Chain A
């Protein structure tokens, strides 16, 4: 397994810049998620790393090996990146064993070694005995597992997963995601997972590369991008977020609909802007004396928790708060709302 260094990468489709001066690094054995909305360049970046696209500018290094830059490109068959596209893309004319052995050259491996690798890979993905099954005889989840085994069989420098779980139903998706991540971690595999599912990105990876319009909006650990977003839009991209108008005074205190909080540092200039609050950082109570008064206008029940929507009495702000069950709220209740988390203030640009 190896590290990845993407430096000042730009990719164009004709005149349109799809990836623009993008840089990030990944340590050996780390799993990163490329997270962002459709069309932000996630798959293009993955394909450039795989060698399926040639960049306009910038460099890509796998470990110490320079594999891609604008003028010279190491072809995909020389990079040893295990690529797992959507729905697995198993070769329809080959059975499971032949799919797994596809990347194992008979010049490099004896038949005994190939057979052993197939058995190991099938054991790894929990599908021993499936050697002779054809892809059409497998479920969607099994196809994804075999595609991963096929990618891992070549002992790749890194594994590239392009929304491999997107076609699966929610239950299978979560189950398979956990299995795949556990498998990658057990193998110590460096991997990149393309996803537009923020929960999947946070739960699966060591690093999140949050992309927007072909650039990195924020790069860091899941905790960093979730807890310390660099902008309100990044906060919204990584989870539910409440963005409230705010004012920061010269003494450093911040006023917003839920509170006025003083900051010990002071000595800042006056600013208008926004505070970002996660819904789970807000407490809602029918009996508490503390907090700002409001009326519960909507209740979305999810089983494990619920999202309460409260209209504040003294302002036009709408507050969304996540509360764990069991609970005794009903629409129309008069409640007190209190912010119990960090202040994330973003001044207007």
Chain B
């Protein structure tokens, strides 16, 4: 005799009540295979690292240089994350709570810097201030680069706060400051943590900015070891240290999110009435945003344009076009592979609550912790065993897919969870088979959001540098590698057209991602699908 509810749709859709649904064996096998693929670089690194004797590993980890690099990385990470939390919370709260005409459009210029990779920021600022270098300069550049992640994450969370809480707090005599700290902040803590995680992982994996500014972080160390001595064992040991740092960072975020797991009950109550009418706050917000947009958008664009115009060398149009085509092609292929990989993984996580889903999520998060340089190192080393795939754009696209799989899976999971259970049930009672429910209800509703997620992966892949440098086929240049090649030897004028083109191409998906999307999507469960929800 059965002991519990077996949901009639349970093979595919779990219900809000009842026991977790059983996982179809085919899905189980597919997810297992994908997880094994995700873990390949990680396992490779462990094997390579432990080819060294333990005392040598210990010596490598505890030597002064490693500790110094670790200290620099930690200091940089702390500076960027702390400033980002402070500025991100302040600006996001300002955009959300200060009454301004068309306030929702303010987010667009604040998010557009996402189109500019850190090495382009660095290059433009170096062109302006050639003496710029060191850890503080790196922190400044990385704050400019990563602040939009924080802003988006917090804004999405602020939009979900029920204005009723704020009104009740006001009637109970709390001041606006008290309301912010006692009512608003506890509800956005999870998103602040998520934004901090995104910024932090960016800092940990960044190679371009720190390298150009002569700051030796773990990523730079790994790249140097790889390039100079081909001591891949040592590079693998340091890579594991970098992964450990990322995992610790992710764990802290997970703990914070777990405590706030219940906050994601979607509300659709307007906060219009609780917006603050204050001329001084309005001025402060516009000033803060103005300074940020000037430093992170206008100045870099100005430098790029002036360098482009002032370049005495003839423009290599064919090289530019070739790099642009390569960039778009390989990034699109990477986004497509990530999309295909994310479909079963996201489906499992979205529809089957259980231990296997939780373990799968953790493994994907480990993938999130693997910086580009580490994936690059692992795949370069494996590449020679991969036959024709080695030195092809497929390997680079595969690296992008692995690097950004966590983003793609998060987006897929979020998108699938947008589809209310009741719609699937109604479709089933109207005679639709399980496959038909998926094709006629789930996919059409989730598709716009999945598309945005894929766009986000595409955008991130276009800007990726370290893995691209290591894995691009011989003779193939992308916009990122061309910018890097010229900027590394201070030929800023020659880098300008590539950087401008990259920013222009990246600005299109960034602009699309910053817009509010689809009316019917938002009404399906009362939330708006925005990039912040996907991150």
Contacts and interface: CB of A to CB of B under 8 A. Distances in A.
Specify whether A and B are partners.
yes
Contacts of A135: 520, 523
5 contacts: A11-B5, A52-B7, A52-B428, A54-B7, A56-B4
B8 A75 contact: yes
A76 interface: yes
Contacts of B219: none
Interface in A68-97: 70-71, 73, 75-83, 85-86, 89, 91-93
B308 to A, nearest CB: 44
Contact of A92 (B2, B17, B430, B521): B521
B422 interface: yes
A92 B8 CA distance: 23
A53 interface: yes
A262 interface: no
Contact of A53 (B5, B420, B432, B523): B5
Chain B contact-residue range equals: 35 or more
Interface string B432-452: 111011001100110000000
A111 B10 CA distance: 33
Given A52-B9, A83-B425, A85-B422, A93 B444 contact: yes
A257 interface: no
Contacts of B8: 50-54, 73, 75-76
Contacts of B4: 12-14, 56
Given A50-B8, A85-B426, A93-B444, 5 more contacts: A53-B8, A77-B430, A80-B431, A82-B430, A103-B430
B431 A51 contact: no
Nearest to A53: B5
Which among A76, A134, A151 has the greatest number of chain B C-beta atoms within 10 A? Answer: A76
Contact of B523 (A44, A102, A136): A136
A317 interface: no
B427 interface: yes
Nearest to A88: B426
Contacts of A79: 429
Nearest to A82: B429
Contact of B429 (A57, A71, A73, A76): A76
A65 interface: no
A52 B433 CA distance: 13
Interface string B85-111: 000000000000000000000000000
Contacts of A51: 8, 428-429
Contacts of A57: 1
A89 B420 contact: yes
A251 to B, nearest CB: 52
Contacts of B441: 91
Nearest to A93: B444
Given A56-B1, A56-B3, A136-B523, A77 B429 contact: yes
Which among B2, B5, B9, B427 has the greatest number of chain A C-beta atoms within 10 A? Answer: B5
Which among B423, B428, B429, B521 has the greatest number of chain A C-beta atoms within 10 A? Answer: B429
Interface of A: 11-15, 44, 47, 50-54, 56-57, 70-71, 73, 75-83, 85-86, 89, 91-93, 102-103, 105, 134-136, 147, 150-151, 154, 160
A327 to B, nearest CB: 39
Contacts of B5: 11-14, 53-54, 56
Nearest to A134: B520
B524 interface: yes
B273 interface: no
B124 interface: no
B430 A154 contact: yes
B500 to A, nearest CB: 39
B316 interface: no
A92 B518 CA distance: 11
A50 B429 contact: yes
Interface string B362-389: 0000000000000000000000000000
Contacts of B7: 52-54
B431 A105 contact: yes
Given A52-B7, A53-B8, A150 B1 contact: no
Nearest to A108: B431
Contact of A76 (B15, B428, B524): B428
B164 interface: no
Contact of B19 (A14, A82, A89, A150): A14
Which among B3, B422, B426, B445 has the greatest number of chain A C-beta atoms within 10 A? Answer: B426
A93 B426 contact: no
A151 B430 CA distance: 7
A13 B427 CA distance: 24
B6 to A, nearest CB: 4
Given A14-B19, A53-B5, A53-B8, A89 B426 contact: yes
Contact of A102 (B19, B430, B433): B430
B18 interface: yes
Contacts of B426: 83, 85, 89, 91, 147, 150
Contacts of B425: 47, 50, 52, 76, 83, 85
Nearest to A162: B422
A13 B19 contact: yes
A52 to B, nearest CB: 5
B11 to A, nearest CB: 9
A134 B7 CA distance: 31
